[in-house]
Amino acid sequence: MAINKPYNNRAWLGVLPVLLIVAFSAVIPLMTVVNYSVQDILDFNSRFYVGLDWYRETLQDPRFIEAFGRQVLFSLSVLAIEIPLGILVARGLPKNGAWTSVLLILLAVPLLIPWNVVGTIWQIYARSDIGLLGVGLNELGLAFNYTSNPTHAWLTLIAMDVWHWTSLVALLSFAGLTSVPPAYYQAAELDGASKWQVFRYVEMPRLSGVLVIAVLLRLMDSFMIYTEPFVLTGGGPGNATTFLSQYLATMAVGQFDLGPAAAFSVIYFLFILLFCWIFYNSVMLDGTVDESEARHHD
């Protein structure tokens, strides 16, 4: 049902509390960051305006570029696994019945574990001395050690992220799939459609909407990942698993080099903003096709 929304500027009263809190949380700090990003701060009293110098320096900093490259590789890898896996898991879920609730809760659990605990769980699990996976792989003769071998570290991180976040894709896909009225399946069956045709013509159109959301969310969130790799590998061995957030955190807090750190932050944020814009438009303009609901935004 479309809500005919009247125009009323007094509505601003309703958003005022939100505005105040978010402004306090976001605008002031952001302004600070932008402020720092264009200054050279030697100490509290001496600051020089340097324009876009920090930006230029950051974008040319080899360590930044490396961290960026690792980040892109990581994000694309986890996406490539999580999206298809999430869809398959969602298709395997029974649509209703006793098992459905149990399985949904199981799927939701990884999403609700503090991120450092996720790191800790996988640390305990993958260590080659006390971990089930670590010891298991070594027993199979694989000489697995994620603390010293960069490739193993990468694989473990990816496995951990898949363990952590596939549920999000699965739950989104499940929501999309269950929105298909049974009549569509029945009609396809009467048509004599094959299983593949049912997936392609009945399920995929419903899924495409939620999938765009899933891809964008995972892309953005994986781009910001910090805690889990920090706990699991600490960014190592060496720099092998240092991604963007960790690099920024080290710069900002450890080294107290505020100017470059601020510039880095701004670049980082702009990148995220771009994805956010795409996300916003696709959610607001795309609708899943449904006979009983209509998009209410124009």
Which residues from 214-243 bind other proteins, rule CB under 8 A? 217, 220, 223-224, 226-227, 231
Residues in contact with other proteins, total (CB under 8 A)? Answer: 125
62 vs 192, beta carbon nearer other proteins: 192
Q: Residue from 28, 42, 52, 285 that binds other proteins (CB under 8 A)?
A: 28
The answer to whether 142 contacts other proteins (rule: CB under 8 A) is no
**Non-local CB neighbours of 276 within 8 Å, separated by 6+ positions:** 220
125 C-beta neighbours (distance < 10 Å), count? 19
The residue assigned the tokens 């949380």 is 25
Q: Residue from 42, 143, 187, 285 that binds other proteins (CB under 8 A)?
A: 187
Least separation in angstroms between CB 143 and other proteins: 17
Token output for 202: 């009945």
Determine contact, residues 234/216, Cβ cutoff 8 Å: no
Residue 255: strand, helix, or coil: coil
Q: Residue from 56, 186, 238, 255 that binds other proteins (CB under 8 A)?
A: 186
Residue 94: strand, helix, or coil: coil
Determine contact, residues 38/50, Cβ cutoff 8 Å: yes
Site string for other proteins, 88-127 (x = CB under 8 A): xx-xxxx------x-xxxxxxxxxxxxxxx--xxxxxx--
The answer to whether 14 contacts other proteins (rule: CB under 8 A) is yes
Residue 192: strand, helix, or coil: coil
Q: How far is the C-alpha of 29 from the C-alpha of 20, rounded, in Å?
A: 13
125 vs 154, beta carbon nearer other proteins: 125
Q: How far is the C-alpha of 155 from the C-alpha of 139, rounded, in Å?
A: 18
Token output for 288: 């899943």
Q: How far is the C-alpha of 209 from the C-alpha of 175, rounded, in Å?
A: 11
Least separation in angstroms between CB 154 and other proteins: 18
Length of the chain in residues, anyone?
Answer: 298
38 vs 231, beta carbon nearer other proteins: 231
Least separation in angstroms between CB 280 and other proteins: 5
Least separation in angstroms between CB 51 and other proteins: 20
Q: How far is the C-alpha of 245 from the C-alpha of 237, rounded, in Å?
A: 17
Q: How far is the C-alpha of 225 from the C-alpha of 165, rounded, in Å?
A: 12
**Phi, psi for 41 (deg, rounded to 5):** -110, 105
The piece of 14-22, 53-61, 73-81, 145-153 that touches other proteins (CB under 8 A) is: 14-22
**Non-local CB neighbours of 108 within 8 Å, separated by 6+ positions:** 167, 171
Q: Residue from 145, 146, 174, 207 that binds other proteins (CB under 8 A)?
A: 174
148 vs 186, beta carbon nearer other proteins: 186
Least separation in angstroms between CB 178 and other proteins: 6
**Phi, psi for 48 (deg, rounded to 5):** -125, 140
The answer to whether 190 contacts other proteins (rule: CB under 8 A) is yes
148 vs 197, beta carbon nearer other proteins: 197
80 vs 124, beta carbon nearer other proteins: 124
Residues of span 50-79 touching other proteins by CB under 8 A: none
The piece of 49-57, 65-73, 74-82, 168-176 that touches other proteins (CB under 8 A) is: 168-176
The piece of 53-61, 71-79, 142-150, 172-180 that touches other proteins (CB under 8 A) is: 172-180
